[in-house]
Amino acid sequence: MKVLKFLVCFAALWASTLARNRSPLLDEDKGLTRNKAAECIFGKEIRELGSQWIPDLGVPIGVLYCMKCECVPFHRKRRIVARVQCRNIKNECPEPTCDDPVLLPERCCKTCPGDNKNEPDVIQDIVPQNVIEEEERRINHFGALLTGRSSLDLRNDSDSKDLNKNNVVATGRFTFHKRNLHYSFYISEKAARPRSLHFLDNQGNILEEFTLSHAGGLVNSLYQNATRKVCGIWRRLPRDYRKLLRNEKMYVVLIWGTKESEFTLSGRLSKYVSLASEQFSSLLEPAPGTDSAKMAGSGGMAIVSTLSSPSPSIHVAVIFNGLFTSHENFDVPINIILGLDEKKQILLEENIKVRKPASDLNYIELSSPISLADLRSLSRGRVVLTVSSLSEPNNLRLSGNVITKITCEIFQTTLIGDKDLAGVTTGLAWMYLNNQGALIYNIQIDNALNEPHIKSITVTLSDIAGKKKAEVLTPRFDSGWANGTEDRMVHKVLEPLYNNRLDMRVGVGNGTLHGHLNAKLVADARDAPAPLLLKRENYTLSTSVLGLAWVSVDNDCHIHYDVSLSGLGHERKMEVYLEMYPIIAPGAPVLLKHLEDFEGNSVEGSPLEALTKEELDMLDSGVTFMKIKDFNSKIVLLSATITKLTLPITCRPLYNNNVPLIYDVPGGRPTEDCFFEGKFYKKDSTWVSKNPCQMCFCQDGQTTCDRMTCPDLKCPRNNVTIPGECCPVCSDPEIVKSNKKCLFNGMIYSSGSKFHPFLIPLGFDDCTVCTCDPVDLEIKCRRIETNSAKCGKGSATETPETLRDDDDIPMGGWPMIRKEDVSNSAMILKEGGCKNNNNPDKPYKNGTSYHPHIASLGEYKCVTCKCQNGTQKCSRERCEWKNCKMIFDFRKGRSKANKRSQFLYSDYCCSLKECRKIRHKKKIEERSSHKQ
Ligand SMILES: *[C@@H]1O[C@H](CO)[C@@H](O)[C@H](O)[C@H]1NC(C)=O
Ligand SMILES: *[C@@H]1O[C@H](CO)[C@@H](O)[C@H](O)[C@H]1NC(C)=O
Ligand SMILES: *[C@@H]1O[C@H](CO)[C@@H](O)[C@H](O)[C@H]1NC(C)=O
Ligand SMILES: *[C@@H]1O[C@H](CO)[C@@H](O)[C@H](O)[C@H]1NC(C)=O
Ligand SMILES: *[C@@H]1O[C@H](CO)[C@@H](O)[C@H](O)[C@H]1NC(C)=O
Ligand SMILES: *[C@@H]1O[C@H](CO)[C@@H](O)[C@H](O)[C@H]1NC(C)=O
- Least confident among 732-736, 805-809, 926-930: 805-809
For ligand 5, atom 2, the nearest C-alpha belongs to 719
Query: Measured from the CA of 715, which atom of ligand 5 is nearest?
Result: 14
Whether a cis peptide bond, with omega within 30° of 0, leads into 101 is no
Average pLDDT of 582-603? 86
- Least confident among 104-118, 359-373, 654-668: 654-668
**CB 222 less than 6 A from any atom of ligand 1:** yes
Give CA–CA dist 418/512, Å, rounded. 6
**CB 713 less than 6 A from any atom of ligand 5:** yes
Higher-confidence residue: 105 or 74? Answer: 74
Give CA–CA dist 779/752, Å, rounded. 10
Instruction: Please give the pLDDT value at position 651.
Output: 83
Whether the CB-CB separation of 360 and 149 falls below 8 Å is answered with yes
Ligand nearest to the CA of 545: 4
**CA 354 from centroid of its chain's CA atoms:** 52
Instruction: Please give the pLDDT value at position 136.
Output: 65
Burial class (CB in 10 A: 0-12, 13-18, 19+), 468: exposed
- Least confident among 67-81, 307-321, 465-479: 465-479
**CB 538 less than 6 A from any atom of ligand 5:** no
Whether a cis peptide bond, with omega within 30° of 0, leads into 648 is no
**CB 635 less than 6 A from any atom of ligand 4:** yes
- Closest to 684 (Cα-Cα) out of 695, 672, 698, 694: 698
- Pocket, ligand 6, Cβ cutoff 6 A: 831-832, 846-847, 869
Would you say the C-alpha torsion 680, 682, 683, 689 has a positive or negative sign? negative
Looking at the predicted structure, is the pLDDT value of residue 896 above 80?
A: no
**Three-state DSSP state, 620:** helix
**CB 510 less than 6 A from any atom of ligand 3:** yes
Whether the CB-CB separation of 838 and 856 falls below 8 Å is answered with no
**Three-state DSSP state, 806:** coil
- Least confident among 118-132, 412-426, 543-557, 617-631: 118-132
In 784-884, beta strands by DSSP E? 801-803, 849-850, 853-854, 858-859, 863-868, 871-876
Looking at the predicted structure, is the pLDDT value of residue 109 above 60?
A: yes
CATH architecture assignment, domain 277-407: Sandwich (2.60)
- Amino acid residing at 818: R
Instruction: Please give the pLDDT value at position 131.
Output: 57
> Do β-strands 477-478 and 439-445 pair in parallel, antiparallel, or remain unpaired?
unpaired
Ligand nearest to the CA of 536: 4
Ligand nearest to the CA of 834: 6
Torsion angle, CA of 376/377/381/382, rounded to 10 degrees?
A: 170
Whether the CB-CB separation of 671 and 617 falls below 8 Å is answered with no
**CB 709 less than 6 A from any atom of ligand 5:** no
- Residue 166 C-alpha to ligand 6 middle, in angstroms? 71
pTM of the model: 0.70
Instruction: Please give the pLDDT value at position 629.
Output: 95
Query: Measured from the CA of 636, which atom of ligand 4 is nearest?
Result: 14
H-helix or E-strand spanning residue 685: none
In 249-374, beta strands by DSSP E? 251-257, 262-268, 270-271, 280-286, 300-307, 313-320, 332-340, 345-354, 362-369
Whether a cis peptide bond, with omega within 30° of 0, leads into 761 is yes
Give CA–CA dist 505/514, Å, rounded. 4
- Amino acid residing at 284: L
- Residue 539 C-alpha to ligand 4 middle, in angstroms? 8
Looking at the predicted structure, is the pLDDT value of residue 20 above 60?
A: no
- Start and end residues for every CATH 2.60.40.200 domain found in the chain: 277-407
H-helix or E-strand spanning residue 187: strand 180-187
Ligand nearest to the CA of 227: 1
Whether the CB-CB separation of 818 and 705 falls below 8 Å is answered with no
For all residues of the chain together, what is the average pLDDT? 79
- Residue 483 C-alpha to ligand 2 middle, in angstroms? 6
Instruction: Please give the pLDDT value at position 853.
Output: 67
- Residue 551 C-alpha to ligand 1 middle, in angstroms? 22
- Residue 216 C-alpha to ligand 1 middle, in angstroms? 13
Given pLDDT bands bounded at 50, 70 and 90, which one contains residue 928?
Answer: confident
Query: Measured from the CA of 529, which atom of ligand 2 is nearest?
Result: 5
Residues 6+ apart with CB under 8 A from 434: 226, 227, 440, 485
Over the stretch 25-74, which tens digit does the pLDDT of each residue have? 333 333 333 456 788 888 778 888 888 888 877 666 677 778 888 888 98
Over the stretch 175-207, which tens digit does the pLDDT of each residue have? 998 889 999 999 999 888 999 999 999 888 999
Instruction: Please give the pLDDT value at position 789.
Output: 45
Whether the CB-CB separation of 876 and 854 falls below 8 Å is answered with no
- Which of 535, 540, 636 has the most ligand 4 atoms within 8 A of CB, as the residue to mutate? 540
Higher-confidence residue: 749 or 266? Answer: 266
Over the stretch 156-169, which tens digit does the pLDDT of each residue have? 444 444 567 778 99
**Residue 711 to residues 763, 785, 792, Cα–Cα distance (Å):** 15, 15, 6
Whether the CB-CB separation of 433 and 423 falls below 8 Å is answered with no
Instruction: Count other Cβ atoms within 10 Å, centred on residue 623.
Output: 17
Whether the CB-CB separation of 160 and 294 falls below 8 Å is answered with no
**CB 436 less than 6 A from any atom of ligand 1:** no
Whether the CB-CB separation of 69 and 41 falls below 8 Å is answered with no
- Pocket, ligand 2, Cβ cutoff 6 A: 442, 478-479, 481, 483, 529-530
Question: Which CATH number is 409-522's, of 3.40.50, 2.40.30, 1.10.287, 2.60.40?
Answer: 2.60.40
- Least confident among 141-150, 402-411, 670-679: 670-679
Whether the CB-CB separation of 466 and 503 falls below 8 Å is answered with yes
Phi, psi of 151 (to 5 degrees): -75, -10
Instruction: Count other Cβ atoms within 10 Å, centred on residue 730.
Output: 18
Give CA–CA dist 528/530, Å, rounded. 6
H-helix or E-strand spanning residue 713: none
**Residue 137 to residues 519, 571, 674, Cα–Cα distance (Å):** 18, 20, 52
Instruction: Please give the pLDDT value at position 16.
Output: 34
